[in-house]
Structure 1
Amino acid sequence: MLYKPEESIKIAIEDLSTGMFVTGIENSKRINLSNAGRVSNQSGIERLKTNDIKYVYVDQSLSETNCVFKPITEDPGVEPAPATQDSTEPKRAPRRYSRASQQKKAKKLIKEAKTLAQRLLNVTFNSQPLDVEEIDDWADELIEVALVDSDALHCVSALRSKDSYLLEHSVNVACLLVTFGKHLKMDSETLKSLAIGGIIHDVGKVKVDDKVLHKPGKLTAEEFEHMKLHQVYGQDIIHGVRGLSSVSRDVCLMHHEKLDGTGYPNGLREDQLPTVGRMSSIVDIYDALTADRCYKSGMSSAEAFKILLSLTPDHLDRELVYKFINCIGMYPVGSLVELSDGRVGIVWTSNQSEPLKPVIKCFYSNKYQRYVEVTYLDLKGSSHKIVKAVSPKSLKVDSAPFYEE
């Protein structure tokens, strides 16, 4: 049993409409948060009514802007909030939603996304038409997780496998685009289109020769020209997709275009590239630079940011690159860092007001070469500071288990 969600208003089930973000349902004066999420269709409302739900709690800030809210007075019988946490427990950054539950949801979403991406690639390889409805529901859920707790999403997507790069890359580009779009305050429909565009942006690679696609090293000039054909193939595939928005199309077809017109497949110039096309170029390059491959280790975010900036203003939009850096942060959630006392930890929660002082989940000591008690350290109120980013490969232990709460 959980208690009244913060920053939510109580409305009668009769006043619930599609587009509202439900944070809790009330039944017999007890509030349950297991149904948190945006109402996407009328059938969901009818199911709640069938289960005799009389009231729901909704978050106005996470709901669509055209929703009309009719708050009602709180019933005095709702059970009071629980006592505060024992001060002896490790302190964590205050969160409206449980990180554990959000990471569980994010893990499920990313697993579904990889399966979905594989299915879409198989369909394309067999020259069957793509249908956006296949991706629609997943994109809705992705946006809900990103809006509620994008940190949880990035903690999960930080765990990567070089053996399934194409799938990992597609999913990460989708997640990063949604996060970037959220940072730029784009509306939910645009975010959804960014997610869909991200997960199918490299669909043309199914037509590329496997020897070139998976070559463990630098491509020859001839091989690179062949690789570039994936965007030509992509154009043919994308134009046949049913129900794809213009935003999703731009993400797919413009992520290799450059402001000076030297990109491909169409050599578009600055005045022909919309914001979402420019965003997709930045995100695609960033994720490729930070990914581990069979022939190279992924670089740190700081190193990747330097390269992105070096590509401005000829290839990439400088203002958008700076905004992307502010969005991701110098030490992104999910990355590994070493602190001034030698402890190593995962960047667990971002701090928008002071980006260099996030919450760190410490679990190992490079100084003593051993595991330490897991603690959550908020650098905002600490004398410790981050001294460097740490590559997972350079760490002598496996960090993967510590991404679970």
Structure 2
Amino acid sequence: MSQEPCVLLLGTCDTKLNEFRFMKNQLKKNGVVKVILVDVGRTPSTDPAVDISSSEVLSHLPENERQDFNSVTRGEVINIMIKAATILVRNFYDLKSIHGIVSLGGSGGTSLAAGVMRAALPFGFPKLIVSTVASGDTSSFVGESDIMMVPSIVDIAGLNSLLKIVLGNAAAAIEAMAKMNFERQSKQEDGSKPRGKFRIAITMFGVTTPGANAAMEYLSAQSHEVFVFHATGTGGRAMERLINEGYIDGVLDLTTTELADELVGGVMSAGSDRLTAAGKKGLPQIVSVGALDMVNFGARSSVPEKFHRRLLVEHNPSITLMRTTQDECGKLGEVLSRRLKENSKDSGKVEVWIPRKGISMMAEKGGKFYDEDADKALFEALSKALMRTGIKLQERDLTINDPEFAIGMSKRLLEMMAV
């Protein structure tokens, strides 16, 4: 374990050596933190500012996976270096030798650094990248992680007065975060739960907010810690990751709408890992069908032409909702059931709850997405697919936003967790 705060500076020193040297000097200037500059460039740098060479980074790979960089493409170089640097950085983290990580670069350098940060470091560990692409769509870099990105304003191609300000601010930020992380680690504040209390994940969407709020208030009143995830794709992926990393003790998956986007082609899919982590971990989970009546797109003009004749509702200028059809709802019931069956090592710790009077605000009687036949197809598909699996199906003549439904799920989850 390090006896002082330490920042790891991850850099492509073959292309941006001067900028990384400047950043290292900024970090060392106050003498508050130790700095380790790791070269992840294609061509090894021999500059004395480099603490760990790219050759040393690559030595962490098994011998049969090492390659001559002269024979591979730039993209392949990045992927190889991500794999090697991930092992190195994870080793540092496991030994509690680093307390923050920072990098800078264009799209390639950002992809490399972000790939390492996502794979090697958990939520809460300070991660920062100064990037030329930070002001655009950063979802491919950040993913479900908590990487902080700072726009470089100018290209990272030679030091100038403006870039020095940006890099100086970034250095000050990661220094402060690393210092805080070191102090937290020294006090052994590891985020573990208080004895006898649970950490519970809840999923919500705008149209399931009242139900999620009722569950959250009930569970919080029992002094349990509640993590609410907005089911927008990123939220679902973040929850699955936190479950895998051991932050969650039980799951109240009220809102599984991301499955609809994955199936139909909306913009808020959480990917094929959704609804897998809790089962694999053997955690108690209660799953419902919140907002499976809708698929999400951006502005109305962004909706694919093949859906123009479908029932569309402009939720706001940036979000357009499309009602799922009877056929799609039947398939969603099968997908949800299959994910649970294939990934649950203990079916007794899984239940599916159905609110027969409405799976979202918009699907209640009188709502714009009210479709009794579509909902029936969803419910029947679930009932058929879960038969003889050991996964219980609970049906209630309530809406998903009825406090009685949400609190009933919460009480049952606590009973399952107490066993």
TM-score, normalization by structure 2: 0.27
Looking at secondary structure, tell me which structure has more strand per residue: 2
Q: Larger Rg: 1 or 2?
A: 2
Could you tell me the TM-score, scaled by structure 1's length? 0.28
